[in-house]
Structure formats: C-alpha cells, structure tokens
Amino acid sequence: MHGNNLKEVVLVGATGLVGSRLLDMLLADVTVSRVVVPVRRELDIQHKKLKVIQCNFKEFAALEKEVKDFDILYCCIGTTMKTAGSKEAFLEVDYHIPLRLAEMAQKAGIRRFIAISSLGADPASSNFYLKTKGEMERDIDAGYRFTKLAFVRPSLLLGPRKEIRMGEKIGQFFMVLFSFMLVGRFRKYRPIYDFNVAKAMISVSNSVNNQRVYESLELEWLGR
C-alpha cells in the first residue's frame, strides 16, 4: 500500500468464473487505485484503474517490472482435465503457472498472495485434480514468503460460466437441489456462488492473521 493508502493489485485469471467477479469488485473498490491483469487474449473491458498486459504465462519478466511493490496478487487461474486435454496441460495451468507467479510476486516485492485452490486439495490424494491442487499449495507455501499467503478452497462453484460444462451443470442442479441434506461435517460440500468466493478473497487479503487455508464454509461466511 502506497502513500495515499490505496492498493495496487494484480489479478491473474480475470476471464474465469471467480476472476471475472473479482475484477468487477476490484474496479468498484474505492480502496483500490490500480488493477493490472495479465492475459493471453484481449480483455473486453476498459476502466481508468485497469491495465491489461499481454503475456504468454511462460515467463513474467515484463509483468514483474510493471507490478513492482504492488500490494496483492490474486491468482484465480485454473482449468479442468477436459479443457486442458492432458495431465501435462492441466499441470501447466494449475501447478506450474501459480508457482511461476509466486516466484515473480516475491521478486517484485508483492506482499500478499491469495490463490484459488479446491476443497479437498491434498498432495497425498489419489485424485489427480486434488493432488495437483495440494502440491501447488504445498510448494508455494514451502518455497516463497509473503506477508499474507492464503489458499481459498471453494466447493462446487455456481455462477454464469462463459463456456458450457454439461457435466458440471448437471452436478450443480443436483447439488443445489439436495444441498439441504448436506449437514454436519458434510455441510462444507454445499455449492458456493462465484461472488461469495470473490468477496471472500478480498476479505482474506485484508486479514492480518497467519491462516493459510480457507475452506468453503468459511468462504461463504466471509463472502456474505
């Protein structure tokens, strides 16, 4: 945070479900003076606070210079196995890019790093998706130092996606329909809306505690 007490932030994954919601909130936030968004393709948004930087996501040297001493990096990047097409492509997006971003953020002097993970993330999981998310969390936590480092773990996300994921649509329907049955220790598996997660990420980034992981129930509460 600079002399005028306004925050400068980086948002990676601004075209995704949560990322697009988060971008809208940051642009409307009077405590945020500047939002830098690296993208592979054009972003069809213009705003006086917004700067879009074309980036290949293989290296972030140009981005590092642009965001020197920024306050927060929000990492909302992620894909699915179906969209990625292979385990290698999935690992590139959900593991390697977040680690490159953490390295860049540390070099740039960014103080807070908040990343989306997944409910059930565990490096020892037999599920490839959850194992990858768990390894991403573990290796960023072990390898990089920030004033605030946190991973948010939402359950099934609800919201208007740009691409149609039929399997996810069906899953959302039944999860919403029967979510009242998820009680006690299963309550955390209830689906959560994109705007709740985005709002919770802002709340988490402003927190001064050392909590590393925020799971879906807590995100719902923080994102009210």
**Over its length of 224 residues, how does the chain's per-residue pLDDT go in tens digits?**
454 679 999 999 999 999 999 999 999 999 999 999 999 888 888 999 999 999 999 999 999 999 999 999 999 999 988 889 999 999 999 999 999 999 999 999 999 999 999 999 999 999 999 999 999 999 999 999 999 999 999 998 887 756 555 555 555 544 555 455 555 565 556 789 999 999 999 999 999 999 999 999 999 999 88
pLDDT of residue 161: 59
CA dihedral 49, 199, 45, 160 (to 10 degrees): 180
pTM: 0.88
pLDDT of residue 41: 83
pLDDT of residue 139: 98
pLDDT of residue 185: 60
CB–CB of 55/64 below 8 Å? no
pLDDT of residue 44: 85
Map the chain to HEC letters.
Answer: CCCCCCEEEEEECCCCHHHHHHHHHHHHCCCEEEEEEEECCCCCCCCCCEEEEECCCCCCHHHHHHCCCCCEEEECCCCCHHHHCCHHHHHHHHHHHHHHHHHHHHHHCCCEEEEECCCCCCCCCCCHHHHHHHHHHHHHHHHCCCCEEEEEECCCEECCCCCCCHHHHHHHHHHHHHHHHCCHHHHHHCCEEHHHHHHHHHHHHHCCCCCCEEEHHHHHHHCC
pLDDT of residue 42: 82
pLDDT of residue 11: 98
